[in-house]
């Protein structure tokens, strides 16, 4: 199945009232696992590569080409997205390589500078038919606007989208990056107000810290694109540790990376099911 635009996956999910799963790739095993998990679920999926991951690999191109190749071999629709890019040069490289979307993160800048930089990046990307996500303020885990108690203002969010012409907006509703526990407390009423105020799809960052039931409620309240990274890394690392604990003499990395890949695929299948399920009437 050919690579699909990110906007196609996200907009179809919003129309259907379900969540679009977006999962971060750290190495090729992640890309393979995420696609396998999506195929098992029979769902489309978004593969994300962050600027930090590009830096880890020395540059964007090696991990990007591997991820794009994996996406093109999938039997379900798959999009590839650049996550948390602060560098305009990296955005341009992602566009050149064939990414369907970018998340340009100028949230560390003062508001007016954020708007100007995001607007310029959006104009460039739209000129190449690439979809753009942005963030108003910093997501938690970076001592920013998604830190506990900080929330996105619906009116400011609407003005930001109008000023920048972005296609999706990451908002602060109580989640935080890199959480190892799934006990984040989301403001569902705020999610609904943002959904009714902001004309573009909403993105939930830091979703690894949100439990299954609350993920369903978040989608029901108005979230569409749901980003997950740390939760998959926990599954990956736990599988590696378990294998090496049982087989201390293992030296072939395929012996422990294989189970880790399977663990991530299972987690993706489960989460995609949660994002497509009807939210329970009562949160437990």
With vertex at residue 131, the alpha carbon angle to CA 268 and CA 4, rounded to the nearest 5 degrees, is 55
Q: Is the four-CA dihedral 43, 44, 49, 50 of positive or negative sign?
A: negative
Token pair in block for residue 234: 């926990």
Asked if 102 contacts 66 with a C-beta cutoff of 8 angstroms, the reply is no
Among 86, 52, 46, 44, which residue's Cα sits nearest to residue 68? 46
The tally of CA atoms less than 13 A away on the side-chain side of residue 49 is: 32
Among this protein's residues, is 83 annotated catalytic? yes
Provide the 8-state DSSP code for 209: G
Query: End-to-end alpha-carbon separation of the chain, Å?
Result: 39
What is the rounded distance in angstroms from the CA atom of residue 43 to the CA atom of residue 177? 25
Asked if 243 contacts 256 with a C-beta cutoff of 8 angstroms, the reply is yes
Helix (H) or strand (E) holding 212: helix 212-221
Q: Which residues are part of the catalytic machinery? A: 83
């Amino acid at each position: 199945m050919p690579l699909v635009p990110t906007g196609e996956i996200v907009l179809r999910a919003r129309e259907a009232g379900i969540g679009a799963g977006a999962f971060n790739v750290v190495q090729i095993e992640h890309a393979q696992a995420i696609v396998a998990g999506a195929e098992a679920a029979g769902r489309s999926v978004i593969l994300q590569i962050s600027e930090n991951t590009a830096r880890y690999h020395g540059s964007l191109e090696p991990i990007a080409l591997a991820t794009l190749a994996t996406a093109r071999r999938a039997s379900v629709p798959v999009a590839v997205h650049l996550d948390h890019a602060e560098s305009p040069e990296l955005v341009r490289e992602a566009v050149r390589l064939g990414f369907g979307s970018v998340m340009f993160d100028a949230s560390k800048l003062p508001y007016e500078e954020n708007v100007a930089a995001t607007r310029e990046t959006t104009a460039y990307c739209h000129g190449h038919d690439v979809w753009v996500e942005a963030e108003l303020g910093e997501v938690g885990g970076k001592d920013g606007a998604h830190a506990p108690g900080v929330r996105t203002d619906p009116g400011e969010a609407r003005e930001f989208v109008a000023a920048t012409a972005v296609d999706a907006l990451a908002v602060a509703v109580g989640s935080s990056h890199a959480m190892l526990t799934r006990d984040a407390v989301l403001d569902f009423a705020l999610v609904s107000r943002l959904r009714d105020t902001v004309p573009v799809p909403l993105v939930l960052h830091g979703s690894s810290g949100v439990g299954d039931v609350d993920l369903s409620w978040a989608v029901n309240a108005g979230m569409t694109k749901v980003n997950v990274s740390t939760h998959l890394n926990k599954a990956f690392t736990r599988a590696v540790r378990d294998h090496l604990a049982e087989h201390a003499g293992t030296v072939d990395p395929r012996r422990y990376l294989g189970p880790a890949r399977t663990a991530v695929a299972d987690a993706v299948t489960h989460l995609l099911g949660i994002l497509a399920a009807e939210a329970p009437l009562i949160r437990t």
